[in-house]
Amino acid sequence: MFRHTLQAVAFLSEEKITTKVEHLKKTFKWSDAEVGIAVSKAPTVLHRTKESLQRRSEFLISEF
């Protein structure tokens, strides 16, 4: 998992990572802890576009 995390953040600046984390918190209404759990389990979520995350959020909300 460490290798996947390293690959996910290797080419992202700290500012871009912060922006992605804030977007995840806003889109999915997650807390800092929940974002931390999601990123630790699936670090590639940091590579998703805002539009992709938005579509997933809308799908999940409509299904529940």
Phi, psi values for residue 57, rounded to 5°: -60, -45
Q: What is the pLDDT of residues 18-40, one digit of tens each?
A: 998 999 999 888 999 999 898 88
pTM of the full predicted structure?
Answer: 0.72
Q: Is the pLDDT of residue 50 over 70?
A: yes
Q: Is the pLDDT of residue 58 over 70?
A: yes
Q: Is the pLDDT of residue 8 over 80?
A: no
Q: Is the pLDDT of residue 64 over 70?
A: no
Phi, psi values for residue 18, rounded to 5°: -60, -40
- pLDDT value at residue 51: 92
